[in-house]
Structure 1
Amino acid sequence: MTTDALPSRTPSAIDAIADAYVQTIARLDPLSATAMGLSGYDHLMTDFSPAGHEASAEAARAVLAELDAATPQDDVDRVTLAAMRERIGLELELHEADELLGQLNNIASPVQALRDVFDLMPTATPEHWENITARLDALPGAADGVVESLRLAASRGRVAPVRQVRECLTQAEELADPERSFFTTFAAGPAVEAALADAPDADARRAAIEHGARAARSAYATLAAFLRDELMPAAPEEDAAGRERYRLWSRYFLGAEVDLEETYAWGLEELERIVAEQEAVAARIAGDGATVEDAVARLDEDPSRVLEGTDALQRWMQETSDAAVRALRKTHFEIAEPLLALECRIAPTQNGGIYYTGPSDDFSRPGRMWWSVPPGVTTFTTWREKTTVYHEGVPGHHLQIAQAVYQRVTLNTWRRLACWVSGHGEGWALYAERLMADLGFMEDPGDRLGMLDGQRMRAARVVLDIGVHLGLPCPERWGGGTWDADKAWEFLRANVNMPEGFLRFELNRYLGWPGQAPAYKIGQRLWEAARDEAAAAAGRRGETFELKDFHHRALSLGSVGLDVLRVALS
């Protein structure tokens, strides 16, 4: 298939099916509509009950039937067909295996979704707060739906491991607590006062918002009680997902099927390679014979690499991001005008995550890079984090996601806004980190060590995740026997240079979200393979391979499964 973006294109019948399906998603899952930036849904709530799950599954079956009867008119349609069949088909497999009904983990389950959506909702006007209030008021019903689904999944033998139940319980209890809850501070925050400053009925609106905050806390109290009193006693101690479940989730997160044992072995080899590269850079920083730990200590003591306070962190993020956009635009990438706006923000949460949220469909909400700073953390080191700015911003997630949103002329709404494949997205972001090093943006040995530090963590996750969930033999240097959570913890501590609280959160994430964390490094591997295959194909045709053109073609496809990507670019 050829996939060059066209200056204009008449939408096809398949585009119409895809566009209509996005409206169906928005109607059935308004939280996803908010994430996509679709207007008109911010006051509505997703139905997390079994009936809501089944309605989404029925819609998926219906659209697949429509696609089976459709004839593609061009290569764009052929990619759409392949991508939709792959994504929606896997979503149905997960539904039928009760994986979605019983989903519960410390980072990406309904417990988090019900809170996180408020980070994306606009807050500038009284009308915005009407939407927020309506959604806050709807949280008790949504929580009841979550409980109903988890209860049904449990009756079918699908209960999350006790470790994940405990983590979600802790989060729910905090969100239910009037003193500590996000909803308490959100409802009384400066955004409310700014939006209502000139509203004639400001007092009534404030009262409604406060009522919504109480409803939200009540919803999380309901969740906490269920998790503590009913689900916890039924939850298994075993963390491992097992081969069958892991294989399904791995396919979902990658959009490709890989040989898990071969990938595990490759992860061990890749880890060793990165460690050797780190040791060579450490010698440049701290002298011959220096260890990586010596180099880290030297860098952490360098005042020119230290930021004090979140205000300084936010300014540095923005300056670093803006500099990357200026340097890469029209040299290594095509960056359209609407993509130049990328906001760097400190997140209202405090769980330690760093993440990106895409622009709205009309770019009125820009792409944003968020840093969720844990409580008490006030010092930050730039050498560790420059690579993260490239990962989340340009040429990482912002360029990737916002470029797809921008491709309105070529891509239908489903491909621009609704499709997300972790292996494609996170694999590209890791590819982008390494690319920035190859392009000369990591010549400073401290910045380079930071990039390698991140790559080492992602390689370690391949080993840990596959090893634990498949119950593979653990190398003797990491404890021997069979992989389990205790061995994984020591392995993580030895290979990831981050605070213990962050590492605990990360390990719990891997144990509760099988197949997702390896998608970063495996995705990078598959992106690099797709690039090499495209270069080889160009050579066979007698053409010159241009990396800039490859990136433009690849990103103009939007997020697709990595098998679909490989075929589209070959």
Structure 2
Amino acid sequence: MKSPLVAALLLALALPAHAVQAAPPATAAAPASLAAESPADAAFRAIYEKEWAWRQTGGGEASEDSDGPANATRMPDVGAAAQQARLVVWDDVLAQLDTLDTKALSPTNQVNYAIYRDQVYNLAADVRLRAYEMPFNSDSSFWSGISFMARREMKTAKDYRNYIAKLNDVPRYFDQQTENMRAGLKRGFSVPQAVLDGREVSIATVSELKDPTQSPLYAPFRKLPASIPAAEQAELQAQVRQAISGSVVPAFAKLRTFFVSEYVPQARTTLAAEAMPDGKAYYQQQIHEYTTLDLTPQQIHEIGLKEVARIQKEMNDVIKQVGFKGSFAEFLTFLRTDPQFYAKTPDELLHRAAWISKRVDGVIGKYMTLPRARFTIVPVPPDIAPFWTAGRGGMGTYWVNTYNLPARPLYNLPALTLHESDPGHALQGALAAEQGEQPEFRRNAYISAYGEGWGLYSERLGIEMGIYETPYEDFGRLTYEMWRAARLVIDTGVHHKGWTREQALAYLRDHTALSEHEVTTEVDRYISWPGQALSYKLGEIAIVRLRGEAEKALGERFDVKAFHDAVLKQGSVPLPVLDAQIRAYIDANRAP
């Protein structure tokens, strides 16, 4: 008999899937010719192709973690008027989608429809709730995104000139963001004051820059392509130095003044998302956007408590295994303070991460089909490292945070590496990009519940792959799983139940072996970024459950590599869609 909590989760997964006829997930079907399209399929394609083209050429470009189209010569237009204009477009698209007869769509397009409609719904909802008036949190910000512009590939002189033009547009972009934040402050819609202490450091790092050639923004110009004549290279280098000194640095200085003198003093003194204007609707939308489910905060809170209790028992078993004589709290203190568990230099941490990645390379082919793309490992840029998480990965790059080494325990590194590189985000993103039969709105999208659920599942998969070599590393895996379970409790505790910051800090500190630095940065992240932390555990629960169902239904016919391929070939999908697709995979592979 299912518990009420599990039943609630399954209901949230199952109900939307009833409207989706699963497309065969095991093999990639060749694209149907346009001439063979049904009228419904043609109408749907016309809608999403038009909107996607508009979005990619600048219409829907605004995002706190994106600097716009690759060939843009300016930063995004994030002003209130542009935001509302986007809402008009997306509301119109939703109205058009609602006129379609979804039952007349092909099975593949029924899946595409479910994904696309939810994507546009979330874009519209964010504007409708004026989320753009809070364009940063303690983890991510529009100004930190400037640093990552330098990582975009540039080959021609035109590419470099476009980049310089965007740097010169930073003052206008920052001014728009500032006006949006002022509007948020006026109505009580802001990041809580309690998590803003010291956050101007990442702004100051740029605003106090004296030598533009020492900026990460200058890095692409240190060695320009030989195809660009020497005289033009010198001209480009002079222009980028001027853009950094004359545009970027003053814009950061102006932003810092606003942040310190206006934003922090006027920021709200409450913590809960539900305490803001339209707070209950805002938090419920954040839950939907990041989990793709419509569970209530209370249901999620209870799921978290249940997971915390289960994982705690497994952690206690590891403590017995290593023969530690003392309480759970004393064991955590031992892990947080014993020098054997910490790297002495940034290079040591990076080298250990690389070694773990190469050990994964030796076995991963047994578990899933590999993408063509590879990834590199680089340290997190110093201007954002103090408030960034321990690591982050995506297609092409695994960032490892080498700031404050006593806060980066080595026993957590295997789980972190599995999550952020292969078989986690780097692999998942690379495989998604290869799904050429899927529309671009699917290949270029990232759905947190799917992506982060897969990342956490990848940590668990490390057991089968033999990546955890010591009981301490296995405890690190469990502390990472506990961390994600505790997020369900803390996020809903803060934003729905009115928890204080001290309650949240104590809960994470008492249940995980995270360092005190990580405990603080993570809790502040949950306080300032409602809902995002919920995606990991709920996504992993769904994948683990689906694997269990596949193993039970298929018996000896179950193939772990085929199962993982079926999950990964979806790209990035809402959990109800993944549920329907994997059930179709199970049905297709049952014994005749």
- Give the TM-score band, short-chain normalised: 0.7 to 0.9
The one-character-per-residue Cα deviations of 1:92-125 (angstroms, maximum 9, x if unpaired) are 1221122233343222343433x24325323676
Q: Counterparts in 2 of 1:161-240, with a 5 A limit?
A: 161-164=192-195, 166=197, 168-178=199-209, 184-187=214-217, 189=219, 191-195=220-224, 199-214=230-245, 215-240=247-272
What's the counterpart of residue 347 of structure 1? Answer: 380
Equivalent residue, structure 1, for 2:532: 516
Identical pairs, percent: 24
Superposition map of 1:483-494 within 5 A: 483-494=499-510
> Hey, what does 1:334 align to over in structure 2?
369
Would the alpha carbon gap of residues 334 and 16 (structure 1) be closer, same or farther in structure 2, given more than 3 Å must change?
Answer: farther
2:177 alignment partner in structure 1? 146
Query: What's 2:288 paired with?
Result: 251
Asked if residue 79 in structure 1 is aligned to residue 92 in structure 2, the reply is no
Residue in structure 2 matching 1:58, options 70, 84, 88:
88
Matched, 1:413 2:440: yes
Q: How many Å separate the matches in 2 of 1:266 and 1:218?
A: 48
**1:500 partner amino acid:** E
Name 1:24's counterpart in structure 2: 54
- SS at the partner of 1:522? helix
Counterpart residue number, 1:431: 457
How far apart, in 2, do the equivalents of 1:347 and 1:129 lie?
Answer: 23
Assess, with a 3 A threshold, how the Cα gap between structure 1 residues 555 and 10 changes in structure 2: closer, same or farther: same
Deviation at 1:289, TM superposition (A): 5.7
Aligned to 1:507: 523
Which of 2, 6, 28 is matched with 1:6 structurally?
28
CA displacement at 1:35 relative to structure 2 = 6.0
**Could you tell me which residue of structure 1 aligns to residue 14 of structure 2?**
none
- TM-aligned CA distance change 1:188 to 1:435, over 3 Å: closer
Could you tell me whether the CA contact under 8 Å between 1:279 and 1:292 is conserved in 2?
no
Deviation of the 1:269 alpha carbon: 2.6
1:300 is displaced (CA, Å) by 7.3
Query: 1:395 matched to which residue of 2?
Result: 423
User: What's the CA shift for 1:145?
Assistant: 1.0
Instruction: String of CA shifts for 1:152-205, please: whole Å, max 9, x gaps.
Output: 3344443332235555544333332225x999522555x432227873244432
Q: Using the TM superposition, name which of 138-147 and 314-323 deviates more.
A: 314-323
Deviation at 1:89, TM superposition (A): 0.8
1: CA distance, partners of 2:315 / 2:86? 47
Give the Å deviation of 1:301.
Answer: 5.2
Q: Aligned-pair distance for 1:448?
A: 0.8
What is aligned with 2:321? Answer: 284
CA distance in 2, matches of 1:123, 1:449: 43
- Please say if 1:371 is aligned against 2:400: yes
Provide the C-alpha distance between the structure 2 equivalents of 1:202 and 1:440, rounded to a whole number of angstroms. Answer: 50
Specify the alignment match of 1:362 in structure 2.
Answer: none
Change (3 A) 1:120 1:354: farther
Q: 1:200 is paired with a residue of what secondary structure?
A: helix
Equivalent position to 2:448, from 419, 422, 437: 422
Any gaps of 5 or more consecutive residues in structure 2? 1-21, 35-41, 275-279, 584-592
1:559–1:548 CA distance, 2 compared to 1 (3 A): same
Q: Please tell me the residue identity of whatever aligns with 2:79.
A: S
CA shift, 1:259, in A, is 3.5
- Secondary structure of the 1:463 match is helix
Mean CA deviation greater in 211-220 or 153-162? 153-162
C-alpha distance in 1, partners of 2:266/2:327?
A: 50
SS in 2 for 1:345: strand
Distance 1:11 1:442, change over 3 A: farther
Which string of whole-angstrom CA distances, capped at 9 and with x for unpartnered residues, describes residues 442-490 of structure 1? 3531221111111111122211111111126xxxxxxxxxx21121122
Aligned twin of 1:479: none
Q: How does 1:429-508 map to 2 (within 5 A)?
A: 429-442=455-468, 444-471=470-497, 483-508=499-524
Task: Tell me what 2:301 maps to.
Answer: 264
CA shift in 2, pair 1:496/1:218, >3 Å = farther
Counterpart of 1:93 in structure 2 is 125
8 A contact 2:487–2:534 mirrored in 1: yes
CA-based RMSD of the aligned residues comes to 3.2
TM score, norm. by length of structure 1: 0.85
The verdict on how the C-alpha distance between 1:451 and 1:165 changes in structure 2, with shifts beyond 3 A counting, is closer
User: 3-state SS of the aligned residue for 1:108?
Assistant: coil
Amino acid at match of 2:424: G
SS of the equivalent of 2:138 reads coil
Distance 1:487 1:445, change over 3 A: same
Structure 1 Cα separation of the partners of residues 576 and 515 of structure 2: 36
Structure 1 residues 230 and 441, CA gap change in structure 2 (3 angstroms): closer
Deviates more, 1:487-496 or 1:138-147: 487-496
Q: Distance in 1 between matches of 2:324 and 2:515?
A: 26
Q: Distance in 1 between matches of 2:379 and 2:92?
A: 41
Alignment check: 8 A CA contact 1:310 1:378 kept = no
Contact preservation (8 Å) 2:65, 2:141: no
Change beyond 3 A, Cα 1:320–1:234: same
Counterparts of 1:490 and 1:134, CA distance in 2: 47
> Which stretch shifts more, 226-235 or 260-269?
226-235
Write the letter of the residue equivalent to 1:46. Answer: P
Q: Is residue 48 from structure 1 mapped to residue 78 from structure 2 by the alignment?
A: yes
Tell me, in whole angstroms, the C-alpha distance in 2 between the residues paired with 1:298 and 1:377: 14
Q: 1:295 to 1:155 in 2, by over 3 A?
A: closer
Does the aligned pair in 2 maintain the 1:175–1:182 contact within 8 Å?
no
- The DSSP-based 3-state class of the residue aligned with 1:18 is helix
Matched pairs, number:
539
Any gaps of 5 or more consecutive residues in structure 1?
360-366, 473-482
Identify which range, 500-509 or 512-521, moves more after superposition: 500-509
- Which deviates further from its counterpart, 194-203 or 345-354? 194-203
User: Which of these residues, 568, 577, 580, is aligned with residue 564 of structure 1?
Assistant: 577
Q: Secondary structure at the match of 1:369?
A: strand
| Deviates most, 84-93 or 220-229 | 220-229
Report the residue type matching 1:550 in the other structure: F
Partner of 1:442: helix, strand, or coil? coil
Question: Deviations 1:305-324 (Å, cap 9, x if unpaired)?
Answer: 65442233333323322331
In structure 2, distance between residues paired with 1:39 and 1:300: 45
The answer as to whether partners of 1:335 and 1:399 remain within 8 angstroms in 2 is yes
Per-residue CA deviations over 1:339-365 (Å, capped at 9, x if unaligned) read 3x1211112232343444544xxxxxx
Q: Secondary structure at the match of 2:230?
A: coil
Would the alpha carbon gap of residues 379 and 111 (structure 1) be closer, same or farther in structure 2, given more than 3 Å must change?
closer
Greater mean deviation of Cα atoms: 255-264 or 68-77: 68-77
Structure 2 CA distance, aligned partners of 1:379 and 1:152?
37
1:468/1:484 contact within 8 Å kept: yes
String of CA shifts for 1:70-107, please: whole Å, max 9, x gaps: 56643221111001111211221221122233343222
